[in-house]
Amino acid sequence: MMSENKNNINRRHFLKDGVWATCLAGLAGLGGFLLSKLKKNNTVWQIDPYVCVACGNCATYCVLEDSAVKCVQVYEICGYCDICTGYLEPEANPPDTGAEKELCPTGALKRVFVEDPYFEYNVDEALCNGCGKCVKGCTVFGNGSLFLQVRHDRCLNCNECSIAAACPSQAYKRVPANEPYLLKKMDHA
Amino acid sequence: MKESTVAKTLPIGLAILGVILLCVWLGSDAAKDLKERLPGEDNRTKTLIEEDEPVKITGRLVKYDGVPAELPGAWPRFRGPNCDAISSDANITLARSWPDNGPKVLWSVDVGEGYAGAAVLAGRVYVLDYDQENKADAVRCLSLDDGKEIWRYSYDVKIKRFHGMSRTVPAVTEKHIVTIGPKCHVTCLDSMTGQFRWMLNLVREYGTKVPQWYTAQCPLIEDGKVIIAPAGEVLMMAVDAATGEIVWETPNPDGWVMTHSSIVPMEFKGKRFYIYCGGDTASGGVVGVSAKDGSVLWKTDLWKVRTNVPCPVIVGDDRIFLSAGYGQYENGCTMLRLTEVDGSIVAKQEYIYPIEAFGSMQQTPILYEGHIYGVRLDKQLVCLDLDGKVVWTSTSANKFGSGAYMIANGLIYVLNDTGVLTLVEATSRSYVELAKAEVLPGHESWGPMAIVSGRLIIRNLNRMICLDVTEQ
């Protein structure tokens, strides 16, 4: 009999529980919303890839010994070409690996044969110094799949970023900390 | 006072330890963490040649119910009748302004992924398309009236997507149409009926290496001869269009490879020759081959670039303007001047400018009324004088990318990458924009344009449309 009473939910209880549940859900939602707003007010530095001119300042102006700026690759945009203008020196012939043929001074951009006629290009972040030589070659002549981004596992988020101060194209922006990357899109005109 | 043993031995011990550490340090390999960057680390394997591909590929002709248009005029090859991308049909008045949505679209057809432009003759539009579903090159003959297909000749070739698939414009006469496919298959058909005439497989028969992103060389037909540059075992050759027999061949002793550039005819001091920019930075240059017998009349290595795409632009009687873009910084453009020395033709370089002055990746600039018009790598339309000096630019507010452009009746039609067509006055005074409209939304509107009877044919990666650009 006791268990029967316990499981017996009448309309009043049901409505009461429902109101409580709704209030709690509303409070949780409000809390989440306020938290996200609060987080959005926290901003970090990022490079707008469509404004960046790959001048090379990112490699030398960062206060860190190893710049927080690294090259990133959007594989969706890459053409997987043999003659890659982001990878090869203009005079490199035939297209191949080798220090004298590669634009990257540190060998951070790696080239891997996929299948005829495609080659994949990957960035070794540990070697990348953010000089943007590959970015310039890829942007001026190619699809623009390589571009520079401030990596937030490295960036100190200085109040006055020394690279931003030296950026000739004003590509540095403050972006919300919860959306810290400005990635290129396939359909960008 | 007696020194302790520790005080006596400690400095000596430290000194010995220091020497040992120094020896270890000097003896160790300072470069042990360094790794050589050597050729071949990408594990490259095969070339584009497919071993099982037959030398001659049997094709198939299918007829459709399209009817040729009753319209005059012709755009019989890449860059039009005079290889200059200029139309000067005085009988047609072209509109100098458009409605907001642009000129009227007369027809639209789906095409395989690529950049192959149209040739037009006798009311027929010819396109070398790629049929992705059936994996075949498809020579398509469409009606200029409504875009309906009249016939299609297809032959099987496997092409992988690599910045599109198709990218050449046929050459057409009243009797023949000649195409060069993405993998260097030269095909000749009856231009009216589509009946097969002959085929050459340049890779298998002439050792041509298919250029990166496939062939972009467009054929030329002159005096019943098809002029092509296999740049393999022979550099250039003339083929009898009617029979397919070789008329002459030009040797290729320097091993120039095929480029994306097309052959352009020129006449100098009574000699007619075909100019071709071939090879690459290892071995390449510009050559003038006699139209009579295929002999080399002149050759120079003053212009050799890794990826040669734009065609030579003939300037007056004796000059040639050349431009490049891919991966180039210093070699943007140059002007060659031909002179006759002891009966021989010699090419001299008048100037060479970096890409900041002018350089072009894909499209060939246009010489019009003493000035050169083209879209630079910074995407701006520019007007140059013949000394290579910039007269005006469209400024960074008006950018066009790698889109196609041409001139008709004093008007420049220029597309941007995403199908916005802009009408600009072809004048050296200044950049004067007359009209602009998004006519072909999509990607990569890079295929060359054609215009006949006021009908402008343009394309993007997947679609070809015909616009009525006449004054209404």
Each residue's pLDDT tens digit, B34-58: 888 999 999 888 654 556 678 889 9
Looking at the domain covering B62-468, what would its CATH class be?
mainly beta
Any idea where the domains of chain A sit in the sequence?
2-40, 44-176
Whether A96 and B160 lie within 8 Å, measured CB to CB: no
Q: Assess contact for B257 and B280: CB atoms under 8 A.
A: yes
Whether A118 and B281 lie within 8 Å, measured CB to CB: no
Whether A141 and B377 lie within 8 Å, measured CB to CB: yes
Whether B37 and A88 lie within 8 Å, measured CB to CB: no
CA angle A63-A64-A67, nearest 5°?
105
Q: What's the pLDDT at A1?
A: 43
Residues of A in contact with B43 (CB under 8 A): 112-113
A99-113, A163-177, B18-32, B192-206: which has the minimum mean pLDDT? B18-32
Q: Assess contact for B410 and B426: CB atoms under 8 A.
A: yes
Q: How far is B316 from chain A (nearest CA, A)?
A: 31
Any idea where the domains of chain B sit in the sequence?
62-468
Whether B325 and A141 lie within 8 Å, measured CB to CB: yes
For every residue of A17-68, DSSP letters joined together read HHHHHHHHHHHHHHHHHHHHHHHHT-EEEEE-TTT----SHHHHHSSSSS-S
Q: What's the pLDDT at B246?
A: 98
Q: How far is B94 from chain A (nearest CA, A)?
A: 29
Residues of B in contact with A93 (CB under 8 A): 280-282, 306
Nearest chain B alpha carbon to A96? B39
Give the mean model confidence (pLDDT) for residues A18-41.
Answer: 77
What percentage of chain A exceeds 70 in pLDDT?
90
Distance CA B228, CA B184 (A): 10
By a Cβ cutoff of 8 Å, what residues of chain A touch chain B? 79-83, 85, 88, 90-94, 96-99, 101-102, 107, 111-113, 116-119, 137, 140-141, 187, 189
Whether B40 and A96 lie within 8 Å, measured CB to CB: yes
pLDDT digits (tens, 9 = 90+) for B407-450: 999 999 999 999 999 999 999 999 999 999 999 999 999 999 99
Q: Assess contact for B469 and B413: CB atoms under 8 A.
A: yes
Q: What's the pLDDT at A3?
A: 47
Distance CA B416, CA B419 (A): 6
Provide the pLDDT confidence category of residue A41 given band limits of 50, 70 and 90: low
Q: What is the DSSP-derived secondary structure letter of residue A88? A: B
Give the mean model confidence (pLDDT) for residues A156-166.
Answer: 95
